[in-house]
Amino acid sequence: MNTESIANMWQLVLQNIIPFAWTVVGAIALWIIGGWVINALKRFARGAMSSRKLDATLIEYLESALGVMLRILLVIAVLSLFGVETASFAAILAAAGIAIGMAWSGLLANFAAGVFLILLRPIRVGDFIEAGGVMGTVREIGMFATVIDTMDNVRTVVGNNKIFADNITNFTTNPYRRVDLACQLGHGVDPQAAQALLKSRLAQIPNVMTEPAPDVEILEFNLAGTKLAVRPYCHNNDYWQVYFDTNKAIAEVGATNGWPVPAPHQVFLQPR
């Protein structure tokens, strides 16, 4: 190999191989430093979310989403070092994101609703609620769906968007609730005496609150007689026990005092 060939080869190395090698070194350094920065940002984001006491499931998901997004940006930056047109690459990613978003619109809506459920806290695990057409106890609030155990012990999974888009009734938030029942009196039964008897009997039912005191009031007058509103108050956990015991108490008071069976009563006047 003559001197001219060696000079040409050395010129080729100086013009192409060495700059490419420096580009590779720079890309590796950028990847390592970028990875370190991404991990630091993820730790910082996790710490910030943990300090705000966000749900652990939400923290994991947001941290993962942040990591994926930053890694994509890092890959684009590395490719730009090698002269790759990142503008077209970014356009392809944007188009793919739009297509995926349209295909997963319902899933993303459930995720967004789940975020608001976790942040705004209209319901919590253990609450007895009625939402999305389902009544029961909340067992889990997930990223996309909420798990509810109904009163007949059936596990039901409801999409978060359906819950958040509808009315939410939370029976657990307030310290007590009212049991709404009615007592139909027959003709001939003194309503005021019946009220006193029922109030006395309601006070003997376990878990009925004394403050506020049970309400026993005249609700209406109808063809069968007088109808009383019977409304004791209790904690939500004792609702059904108080509900059924109150019905039993109404039946016991009526039987003990010989109240007649209510029946429609009409008086027909003979024409003159």
The domain segmentation of the chain, as residue ranges, is 3-103, 122-170, 177-256
Radius of gyration of the chain (CA): 36
Taking residues 243-260, what's their average pLDDT?
Answer: 94
pLDDT single digits (tens) 174-185? 989 999 999 999
Evaluate if residue 139 carries a pLDDT over 70.
yes
Alpha-carbon distances of 15 from 10, 49, 201, rounded to whole Å: 9, 50, 101
Q: What is the DSSP letter of 71?
A: H
H or E element that contains 70: helix 56-81
Architecture per CATH, domain 177-256, reads as 2-Layer Sandwich (3.30)
3-103 and 122-170 have identical folds: no
CA distance 200 to 194: 10
CA distance 252 to 198: 10
Residue-level pLDDT at 49: 79
Q: Which of 6-20, 75-89, 157-171, 203-217 is least confident?
A: 6-20
Q: What is the CATH number of domain 122-170?
A: 2.30.30.60
More confident residue, 143 or 87: 143
Instruction: Name, in order, each residue with C-beta under 8 angstroms of 57's C-beta and a sequence gap of 6 or more.
Output: 118, 142, 143
**Contact predicate 136/149, CB 8 Å:** yes
Q: Closest by alpha carbon to 260, among 233, 224, 231?
A: 224
pLDDT single digits (tens) 8-43? 665 665 566 666 677 777 778 878 888 898 888 888
Q: Closest by alpha carbon to 129, among 159, 162, 176, 173?
A: 173
Report the Cα 14 to chain-centroid distance in Å: 64
CATH class of 3-103: mainly alpha
pLDDT single digits (tens) 58-101? 676 677 777 778 887 888 777 777 666 656 666 666 666 665 56
Alpha-carbon distances of 83 from 27, 77, 94, 106, rounded to whole Å: 12, 10, 20, 39
Angle separating helix axes 18-51 and 56-81, nearest 10 degrees: 160
